[in-house]
Chains A and B, each alone.
Chain A
């Protein structure tokens, strides 16, 4: 063994390193402060700033408004008109008037249906995108994004044209329908416009990219050798999908699901244009309370209720997810 008790006299000599204090180029105090902490403070500060001014403050205003009393002033609400500072009557109406509960129920149901359909259509699309050769993939991704370049309203109007009773689309569907059903069930045309069906069709069409893109981003990052490992261990392709791809894409499913579910549940334009006016969704109700009825406290109350319904489950989910995560990490 070299270098045991006697140090070899001709061994390699390490000259002591000259590590003096390093002097940077001359900097003013502002530049020094900025270099030390400016960047990180600035960058972490932007989202806080944004959330504070464009989410937290408006949110506090809306919550406050929901406890106000309607009044013929401008703006049309005030506090402390009937003794107490807070007025709970809007909340009482929320629970007593069937209109609000029903609208909330319809909205959540339509949003859930649209989200599930978007997932069923979007997942295979996103998965197929990841399996394409890079050049074809770029073109296909462009095609997914392309509809965004035309006006949203224009596309809804196009659907109205398609679903109207006299369109070739409707006639074709009617002909198909008449071929499969008995003769006495035959129809002259299918009533699609002004139904919940039309709302779901247009919502799924409009929000599909919001499902496909996060799913694609998630699936594209997955390590293909994991699939090979599962196959190597005896799994058939569908088992590989069930055991590896699907569980690892849950974050993408959640992200895509939220991006579809949340805007769809508050959607105003699509139900207004193609939906059934006697089944208003919650967006319509809020809009009517604000604009036609000028009952701002009631509108704010409905908005708060919608927010609680949307955010409550999300917070519960992330709470339990975090708890489960820490439990797993604390395992021996």
Chain B
């Protein structure tokens, strides 16, 4: 932790500091004890299920809700008591909230009315913003005369026009179809790169969070469960909740039998074997742990392979997804294990490993096993 006062000296003082922030509505705690730091120029995602408090946290940053506990600093300035219209923050609303009685250009220029600019400067800035989101020809239309994707870009241009230090985006892409969403994700990243503005993005789409962000905070019931880069939260989840929420995983209960250097032996009853796993710090023999296996980290084959961590099973169900297939394999103990296998060869030209009721073998690397002690 940085000492108060020391942050002036350090060159990497966090841009946003959220200290013990909580928000109650009556007796209901929408956000609880959130501690976060976000650096300048990051794309930071708040990820979590519906109703977990993402929007509430974002609205506290924007100044529409006041925290009932804790403090928020933006660029070193305490935000307590500073109304939304004085914060160096702009928000892109989930519903876009475009002014229906103003043209696209007027919408984009609205925030500039409060800036010390001359009329031509303002017009230039509006044109620049419209070019940035490629909406130049639509300047004189009303919001109801453009498409949903175009509206979303107007909202983005409007929020960026005042060159805020911080841009808040509440589910910016939720209303778009899959193709347009993917396209816009990259557009957002480009725009972030060009403008250098710090983005805080709320989303409940984990893929979107993974693609967009430099770091992700996973939220549940008003609390932050884990903060880290997309790889960290995916490959090294800190809790069963995070492992389950981000990506897919099959969970097994086990007991640690031995810890020898980097390798731990974990007895897993459901698999009927002692799994070799990469040890996590603080692991001791006799400890109960949860083991998580991601479907794509498991190999599936017809012949019994060599090495540790080999299990037998029978294909219960399989799903064809084009580029890959998902096998649901029933283990001897009755549990179902999900296995993802890339369709490296064309299915239909005997490219499929197994079909229904085939008995198969599975193997996974000790380094791929996620051990959860929480």
Question: Interface of A with B (CB < 8 Å)?
Answer: 2-3, 6, 8-12, 223, 225-226, 228-236, 243-244, 247-248, 328-329, 331-332
Q: Which positions 316-370 of chain B face chain A at CB distance < 8 Å? A: 320, 322-323, 343, 346-348
CB-based contact A2/B347 at 8 Å: yes
* A332–B140 CB distance below 8 A: yes
B93 within 8 A of A: yes
Smallest Cβ-Cβ distance to A7: which chain B residue: B348
Judging by beta carbons under 8 Å apart, are B114 and A11 in contact? no
Q: How far is the CB of B166 from chain A (nearest CB, A)?
A: 12
A225 touching B93, Cβ below 8 Å: yes
Closest to A228 in B: B64
Question: B178 within 8 Å of A by Cβ?
Answer: no
B101-138, CB < 8 A from A? 101, 110-111, 113-115, 137-138
* Best-surrounded residue of A229, A231, A329 (most CB of chain B within 10 A): A229
Looking across the interface, which residue of chain A has its beta carbon closest to that of B352?
A10
Please tell me which one of the listed residues A2, A229, A234, A331 contacts residue B141 in the complex, with CB atoms under 8 A apart: A331
Query: With A2-B322, A328-B142 given, is the CB distance from A233 to B114 under 8 Å?
Result: yes
* Closest CB pairs A-B (n = 8): A233-B111, A8-B348, A234-B114, A229-B97, A225-B97, A2-B322, A331-B140, A9-B348
Residue of B nearest to A223 (CB): B97
Query: Would you call B145 an interface residue if the criterion is a C-beta within 8 Å of the partner chain's C-beta atoms?
Result: yes
B90 within 8 A of A: yes
A10 to B351, CA, bound (A): 11
Asked if residues B348 and A10 are in contact (CB atoms below 8 Å), the reply is yes
User: Do residues B348 and A11 form an inter-chain contact, with CB atoms below 8 A?
Assistant: yes
Residue of B nearest to A12 (CB): B320
Which partner residue on chain A sits nearest B91 by CB separation? A232
On whether the beta carbons of A244 and B114 are closer than 8 Å, the reply is no
| Contact of A332 (CB < 8 Å), options: B101, B137, B347, B348 | B137
List residues of chain B with CB under 8 Å of any chain A CB: 62-64, 83-86, 89-91, 93, 95, 97-101, 110-111, 113-115, 137-138, 140-142, 145, 158-159, 162, 320, 322-323, 343, 346-348
- B interface, by DSSP: helix, strand, loop or mixed? loop
- Interfacial chain A residues near B62, Cβ < 8 Å: 232
Kindly list chain B residues whose C-beta atoms are within 8 Å of the C-beta of A233: 85, 90, 110-111, 114, 158, 162
Docked pose: A248 CA to B101 CA in angstroms: 7
Q: How far is the CB of A12 from chain B (nearest CB, A)?
A: 8
* Contact across chains for A231 and B346 when beta carbons are under 8 A apart: no
B53 to A: closest C-beta gap in Å: 18
Contact between chains at A229 and B93 (CB < 8 Å): yes
- Chain B residues within 8 Å of A228, by CB: 64, 84, 91, 93, 97
Residues of A within 8 A of B101 (CB): 247-248
Told that A10-B348, A232-B62, A235-B113 touch, could you supply 16 new A-B pairs with CB distance under 8 A? A2-B322, A3-B322, A9-B348, A228-B64, A228-B93, A229-B93, A231-B64, A231-B83, A231-B84, A232-B84, A232-B85, A232-B90, A232-B91, A233-B85, A244-B99, A331-B140
Return the contact of A229 from the options B99, B113, B145, B347 (Cβ within 8 A): B99
Q: List 28 A-B contacts (CB under 8 A).
A: A2-B322, A2-B343, A2-B346, A3-B322, A8-B346, A8-B348, A223-B95, A223-B97, A226-B99, A228-B64, A228-B91, A229-B91, A229-B93, A231-B83, A231-B85, A232-B85, A232-B89, A232-B91, A233-B90, A233-B110, A233-B111, A233-B114, A234-B85, A234-B111, A234-B162, A235-B113, A247-B101, A331-B140
Task: For the complex, give the distance between the alpha carbons of A233 and B111 in Å.
Answer: 5
Q: Which residues of B contact A11 (CB under 8 A)?
A: 348
A286 to B114, CA, bound (A): 55
Tell me the smallest distance from the CB of A80 to a CB of chain B, in Å: 55
A243: B residues at CB distance < 8 A:
99, 110
